[in-house]
Structures are given as C-alpha cells and as structure tokens.
Amino acid sequence: MSPRGRLRTALRFAALALALAAGRASSATAPLPAAAQIKTAFDALDSSRNGAINGAEWDRASFVLFRSFDKNNDDAIDREELKATAIAPDTFRRIDLDQDDRLNAGEFTEHRRTLFLIADIDRNDYLSPVEYELFIIMERIGWQDTNQNGRVELSELTSSLNRAFDDLDQNRDGALQLAEAAFMRPAALTRYDGNRDGELSREEFVAGYRNELTGG
Amino acid sequence: MNHSHYRILRLAPLAALLGSPFVALAAPKPAAPAANAALVAALQAVSPDPLGGRLGLVAATARTLDNRTAPAMRSEQTAMIEADRQAYAAWKNTRKS
C-alpha cells in the first residue's frame, strides 16, 4: 500500500472510531419500536405489496420524506427546518456536500440510497422484512464497517447483534424475554428459539438472524 | 379492460417518444397526500432520523473521508446528487399535475 493509501486508511479508522464513540456516548440506545410498527413501516414502503422493498420504492419514500421536512417548499432542508426533525446534526453536516448549510433533495436521497445498500445485506437489491428489521436495530446500535467496503458483512453483523443483545437484555439475565424482544417478528422469535424455552439466548439471537439471512 | 385503458396503452409509446409531460398525463394519478402523510408517519415511528441514526452517521463519516482523499469519488457523488435532485424535481412536478 502506498504512503497515501496508508494515511487514508489510518484517517478512516480514526474518524470512524470517533464517530462510533460519539454515537455511543451521546445517549443510551433509544428503545426499539414494536414489531407491529416495523411491519406497518415495511408495508408502507413496499408499495407493490410483493413482500420486498426495491430501490425505486425506497427512493420514492425518500422524496416523500424530504418533501415533508421541506416546510417552505424551496427544495432544501435548512438549519431552521432541521430543528423540527430528528436528523443528527453531525450527519447533516457531513452529507451537505456543497457545504451551503442546507440539504438539497439530491444530497438527502443519495445518502438514503447509501443506507439502502447497507441494509441490503444479502445484496439482492431488495430489502426483505428481516433486513429491514436489522436496519432498524443498526440505526440505534450502529455498525462498524471493518473492511471499509460500505456493505454489512456477516461478521460485522454479528458484532452489531452482540451489541444489540447487550442493550436489549435489560434485566441482565443473559436471555431476551418476550418484552425485551418485542421488536421482533413473532414468527421469527419462535423460529430462533431453538430449545423452545420461550426466550432467546445470545447464541439463538445471533444465529437466528444469521441463518435467516443465509438460508441456513 | 375498457376502452380508456386501450387508449392509454396505445398512446404510451408515443408519449414516451414525445417526452415526459405526455408521460405524466398517461401515468396513473399520484398517491393522495393522505397516503404520503401515512407513509411519513409510519417511517418516523420506527426511524425518527431519516438519515439513519448511528448507522447513517457512520456511513456519512466514511463518505466524507473518501471524498477528501479521492477526488474522483467526490465527482461521482456530485453527479449522482445532481441526478437525484433532478429526479426529485420531476417527481414533484408529477404530483402537481
């Protein structure tokens, strides 16, 4: 690797570590929505009703979201409009590519398409219900792009799921009971519970998601 | 299928040749504002930050660094942003018609 490449890699690691630390330190992880809410959102995105969200459906939702935040309809989200949203100011600043202190529809949509690519873990250009559920988890927990390829690898997913488990296991008994896993699709909860004891161990939680993604 | 559907189907290739204003006329009517409001409410209930929360911050940070160190990536991203900006403008115009 050239000196410039090494510098680039070092800079990336340092900045990503800072971003991750800032995200972790900013607040405790916000509670996850209920499974029914996630299903409602998924169904709203899946306008073709084929059980998967494609890029066009995602982009259309991005346009609708952008329009809802652009209160004065000038095709930009400015600092004043930002205050009425839950958009993280640090993310706003970073994706404002032309640095005009406003997000135009292109900057907003392009960043959201990056999120779609990250959420599309099996890389089939569609988001399935399990991928969307994992996306919601990772929005709160974060993700470490260890190999810096902009996509979620299974090893990286395992790391995020382990962190999610630590956050979700509020009574610290080493298992997720129904109340702690209320964000999960009920059928998945049953399927992942290999020993049928009515709760999910860390291993069941992580393996359940991994197996569902890989068809294992 | 009734006659109006046939008419639209016959006009569609011609409309595509003539340009987007005609396509907009032949296209299905845009979703009602109520449907869009429901979509926003549903998404905001599960993802309050539309830019991806902590996941979005990590992605944005990586992009920023890529752009600083690789100018070609920045040019590519600028082109995509412009294309998306135009697509949004076209979508907004379709909603008006």
Instruction: For chain A, 216 residues long, give each residue's pLDDT as a single digit of tens.
Output: 565 555 555 555 555 454 544 444 444 567 899 999 999 999 999 999 999 999 999 999 999 999 999 999 999 999 999 999 999 999 999 999 999 999 999 999 999 999 999 999 999 999 999 999 999 999 999 999 999 899 999 999 999 999 999 999 999 999 999 999 999 999 999 999 999 999 999 999 999 999 999 987
Interchain CB contact of A137 with B (< 8 Å) = no
> What is the per-residue pLDDT for A206?
98
Class of domain A31-50+129-216: mainly alpha
Which residues of chain A neighbour B28 with C-beta distances below 8 Å? Answer: none
Which two structure tokens, joined as six digits, stand for B17?
Answer: 């040749």
Class of domain A53-127: mainly alpha
The pTM of this model reads: 0.82
B6 phi and psi, to 5 degrees? -60, -45
Residues of chain A neighbouring B96 (CB-CB closer than 8 A): none
Q: How far apart are the first and last CA of chain A?
A: 37
Give every CB contact of residue B54 below 8 A, 6+ residues apart in sequence: A20, A23, A24, A138, A139, A140, A141, A142, A143
β A76-77/A175-176 pair status: unpaired
Q: What does the block give as tokens for A110?
A: 């392009």
Closest CA to A32 of A182, A155, A176: A182
Cα separation of A168 and A3, whole Å?
42
8 Å CB contact between A38 and B47: no
Question: Which of A111, A131, A136 to mutate: most B Cβ within 10 Å?
Answer: A111
**Residue corresponding to tokens 């997720």:** A176
- Report B:19-58 residues touching A (Cβ under 8 A): 36-40, 42-58
For residue A95, what pLDDT is reported? Answer: 95
**What is the pLDDT at residue B9?**
37
User: Among A107, A136, A140, A105, which Cα is nearest to A119's?
Assistant: A136
